[in-house]
Amino acid sequence: MEERPSRSPRGRLADPRYRAEMLARLDSLIAVLRLAQHKASSAPAKHAEQAERLTRMHRNLSRTLDVCDYARRSLNAPQPHGQVPLGQPASSQAPQAGCFAESSNLEEFRRLRELGPLQDEAPSAAEIEALCAQLIADQEE
């Protein structure tokens, strides 16, 4: 029987061809971000409001480039047995500013904030079953 490619990101990242494709896409994205960052740095500001906007833009581009550089290092790192690291362990600190941007609305943000940080332990089979049942029930509504 032929082995089907994994649909999970973790399984696909174990494939060297997929990793190479992701690296190529990431390099293209980094080039575009660096160009935008350079333009934001060299653009003349006519008034204080525009200067503030350009500074914010430059800072956001820098943060995005940091994430891209981390992803590039992760994709270039040799992984034992095809395993891909999941990243930094969850910290017990409160969410930082900007985490609201990852939520689709304020209600979702508040619910996620109440749950607290992710823990390292894997969910039990019962928890997974309960979540699947809840997902199916939500889709039927």
* Chain segment 22-38, per-residue pLDDT in tens: 899 999 999 999 999 88
Rounded Cα–Cα distance for residues 93 and 63 (Å): 20
pTM: predicted TM-score of the whole model, two decimal places: 0.50
Mean pLDDT lowest among 4-8, 70-74, 89-93, 120-124: 89-93
Q: Is residue 122 scored above 90 in pLDDT?
A: no
Q: What does the mean pLDDT of the chain come to?
A: 76
Q: Say what the pLDDT of residue 67 is.
A: 93
Mean pLDDT confidence for 14-25:
86
Q: Is residue 17 scored above 50 in pLDDT?
A: yes
Higher per-residue confidence, 120 vs 71 = 71
Residue 58: alpha-carbon gap to chain centroid: 20
For 13, residues 6+ apart whose C-beta sits below 8 A from its C-beta are 19, 22, 75, 84
Mean pLDDT confidence for 89-101:
50
